Amino acid sequence: MRSDLLRSSLLACLLLVPTIGVAAKPPHEVEAATSIVYTDAQAARAAERVKAEFLHAWRGYRRHAWGHDALKPLSNTAHDWYGQSLLMTPVDALDTLILMGLNEEARDARELIATQLSFDRDIDVKHFEIVIRLLGGLLSGYQLTGDQRLLDLAKDLGTRLLPAFDSPTGLPYVYVNLRTGKARGNESNPAEAGTLLLEYGTLSKLTGNPVFYQEAKRALTETYKRRSKIGLVGERFDVTTGQWTQTRSHVGARIDSYYEYLWKCWTLFGDEDCRAMWQDSIAAANRYYPEEVDGALWVGHVDMHTGKRLASRYGALHAFWPGLLALSGDIAQARRLQESSYAMWKQHGLEPEAYDYRKREVTSPGYPLRPEIIESAWYLHRLTGDAQYRAMGEQMLDDFVRYTRTDSGFATLKNVVTKEKADDMESFVLAETLKYFYLLFAPPQRWTRQRSC
């Protein structure tokens, strides 16, 4: 579970700060780049194009769904997750508005959030989703604007979410009521338990209250403690007992961002425990997940206890892995895996949710407009200076616009083969997908000037 589970706007701040301990060489020291030529002028034009496409979707949201969680881009109607709006799209997308220099739109979104958003609601919300979209969005919005109202909202939300951690194991329950604090939902996974510390940790840093960091770190640590003897985690566990209920292991849905946060918690907070957990975990991942097929490198599914290969399954969520490898210093493996991700994309002009890389067949054909492959292209370009990643990005942008654009925004695809659309546009399309396209093409000076992390 990543993209619609991940990534909060908070990550914009993390991604814009220098990383700690990255082993990657600067561009002039990296192995020879490809012969592809992609000029700064081309990149500048592409950045402006992305900005225009973002504005197209933002204006569609503004026209048809203002004050609601999301736009339905085929029917031009609004959608609220829990029957009442928590302003998912404006909160999640605020930092993208700021990053792109859309000051008037950012000001309007900020005023809407600051004056209309309330968490005093008798609704059960999914803890993980609310943390990464709303808590993260409020925190990054505050860091980029200094608007105390956003931090106050973040503190209120974080406090209301804390009862999710009141389980016998310290692993968070899946749902929590924003008004009563009653928590429920026993079946969870490493991604939902382990993808919390950046947001909660930042909230602790900004408020001076350590409880947020402590609870989220405990959840991450308790997940790590349940790894197998060979160092892998499974796909599902019971929050109350801590026992695994699904022992399949991989870097896709329900596990993915667990790995990501181990590295990034070390990066952002300098937490040596996170660094040690990362080093142990990445060593096991590199031993058991990779598979060579016809000269290409992939990462597949294995049993967490034995390492036995279970499936040659890859997909849109797995495509974050090259970026994480690149950021943590493994440029060579990252390059090869990005090639595989892009080959999967090119087969039908968009990436599917799941793909059998041995059979070269789509096994789950949906495309909810995920950002991971674009994020990985940005990391690799930023760390190597190789023009091929911008060229790759422009081709993906062409495909993205060609097959998903509507009169008011961008629509999820039910099927990447037939290109049939669905009436859905998640907040992460504005918060992440178009943000990473923009970062890939915009000159570094443009986005480093925007940060206040």
Cβ–Cβ < 8 Å for 92, 430: yes
At 317 the pLDDT is 98
DSSP string, 345-384: HHHHTS--SEEETTTTEEEE--B----HHHHHHHHHHHHH
Spatial CB neighbours of 9, under 8 Å, sequence gap ≥ 6: 91, 92, 93, 94, 95, 96, 133, 136, 137, 139, 140, 141, 431
Strands in 124-126's sheet, in edge-to-edge order, are 124-126, 175-177, 183-184
pLDDT in tens, 428-444: 999 999 999 999 999 87
At 9 the pLDDT is 42
In this prediction the pTM is: 0.93
In 3-state terms, what secondary structure has residue 59?
Answer: helix
Looking at 147, 353, 426, 432, which residue is catalytic? 353
- In sign, the C-alpha dihedral spanning 192, 197, 200, 202 is negative
- In sign, the C-alpha dihedral spanning 131, 123, 91, 372 is positive
Q: Where are the beta strands (DSSP E) in 134-240?
A: 175-177, 183-184, 187-188, 236-238
399 is catalytic: no
Structure tokens at 270: 């300098």
Cα→Cα distances 4→180, 296, 427, Å: 26, 28, 8
Cα three-residue angle 398-58-447, rounded to 5 degrees: 70
- Report the C-alpha gap between 8 and 160 in whole angstroms: 18
Beta bridge partners of 356: 313, 361
Spatial CB neighbours of 228, under 8 Å, sequence gap ≥ 6: 234, 247, 249, 304, 305
Cβ–Cβ < 8 Å for 339, 391: no
Cβ–Cβ < 8 Å for 54, 96: yes
Structure tokens at 280: 């142990």
**Does a cis peptide bond (omega within 30 degrees of 0) precede residue 227?**
no
29 is catalytic: no
The number of CA neighbours under 13 Å toward the Cβ of 398 is 9
At 453 the pLDDT is 36
Looking at 53, 192, 256, 260, which residue is catalytic? 256
pLDDT in tens, 103-130: 999 999 999 999 999 999 999 999 999 9
Strands in 187-188's sheet, in edge-to-edge order, are 187-188, 236-238, 244-246
In 3-state terms, what secondary structure has residue 74?
Answer: coil
Q: What is the mean pLDDT of each run of 10 residues along the chain (453 residues)?
A: 37 41 40 76 98 98 98 98 97 98 98 98 98 98 98 98 98 98 98 98 98 98 98 98 98 98 97 98 98 98 98 98 98 98 98 98 98 98 97 98 98 98 98 98 69 41
CB atoms within 10 A of CB 267: 24
Structure tokens at 53: 């496409």
In 3-state terms, what secondary structure has residue 53?
Answer: helix
48 is catalytic: no
Segment 240-246 long-range contacts (CB within 8 Å, at least 24 positions apart): 240/167, 240/168, 240/169, 240/186, 241/168, 241/169, 242/168, 242/169, 242/171, 244/304, 245/187
Cβ–Cβ < 8 Å for 117, 68: no
Looking at 92, 222, 351, 372, which residue is catalytic? 372
- Report the C-alpha gap between 260 and 323 in whole angstroms: 10
Looking at 124, 129, 375, 426, which residue is catalytic? 129
At 448 the pLDDT is 56
Beta bridge partners of 246: 236
Q: Where are the beta strands (DSSP E) in 133-281?
A: 175-177, 183-184, 187-188, 236-238, 244-246, 248-249
353 is catalytic: yes
- Report the C-alpha gap between 450 and 144 in whole angstroms: 7
Going by C-alpha positions, the residue among 218, 216, 245, 241 that lies closest to residue 233 is: 245
- Report the C-alpha gap between 110 and 95 in whole angstroms: 10
Residue 345 CA, chain-centre distance (Å), reads 18
Going by C-alpha positions, the residue among 79, 97, 183 that lies closest to residue 145 is: 97
At 271 the pLDDT is 97
